[in-house]
Amino acid sequence: MSSLTYSLLVMSAPLGHQAPYTAEQFCRAAIARGHRIFRVFFYHDGVYNALSTAVPPQDAAQLPAGWRELRERHDIALTVCIASALKKGVVDAGEAKRYELDAVTLDSHFEIAGLGDWIEATQVSDRILTFAR
C-alpha cells in the first residue's frame, strides 16, 4: 500500500463533541501506518481546539497536549480559520495588537490563516476528511 497525504477539517469544540478527539486519533493512526498529515484546519467551533487558555478536566482527553505533540513530532500544520477565530476570541499576537486586545489566546503551536490555506490543503492532499457533529 502506498503512502497517502491527508488533510483534516475539524469543526467541533474539543469538549463539545467526540469529533476533535477522533481527528487527533486518526492523525496518530495514519502516521503510524506511514501516511502523512499535511494540515489540520480548524473551522467554526473547531477553533476552540487552539485556545491556549483551555484546561480540560483531568478525566477528559487532553486534546491541547495531543495537538501540540503532533505539531512538534510530525510537523503537522495546525491552522485556524481567521474569521471563525476572531468571532470566538481566539487571537494571536498580531490580531491582539490590531484589535487592541489585552491577551493572546491562540496556542503557539497553531497558526491563524484564511480559507486559502484550506483550499491549498485540498489541492495537495490525496484524501480530505471532515470531523464535525
The residues annotated with a catalytic role in the active site are 81
Through-space distance between the first and last CA atoms of the chain, rounded to whole angstroms: 31
Each residue of 66-93: b (16+ CB within 10 Å) or e? Answer: bbbebbeeeebbbbbbbebbbebebbbe
Nearest to 21 by CA among 34, 8, 38, 36: 8
Three cell numbers written together for 5? 497525504
DSSP H or E run through 50: none
